[in-house]
Amino acid sequence: MENERSNPYTQFNEEILENWKTNGVKYIKLVELDADLAIKFFELIPDSEIPDSDETIYPIESEDITELLEPVATVKFLVHDIYLEEEE
């Protein structure tokens, strides 16, 4: 029995952004993840158009999305692997 705990997230990068654009993603939702660390983590969810409380939706062509590619020491933008599998 294998007891491996792997991280299901990948840091958002330009390759992911370009793949999403190529695959017709129109919107990205930002959701803050709960973590008891000094770093804030946000999950990016493609083509989610309905925000819940404290969530923000951005068009994929928005400058706000491009700015997420810039490194920030106290903030990380992550993509769950389930959203990467759809790119293949």
User: DSSP label at 34?
Assistant: P
| Residue ranges with strand state E in the chain | 9-11, 27-33, 40-46, 56-59, 75-80
Rounded Cα gap, residues 76 and 41, in angstroms? 5
Q: What does the domain layout of the chain look like in residue ranges?
A: 9-85
4-46: pLDDT as tens digits: 568 899 999 999 999 999 999 999 999 999 888 899 999 999 9
> How does the average pLDDT of the chain come out, rounded?
87
pTM: 0.82
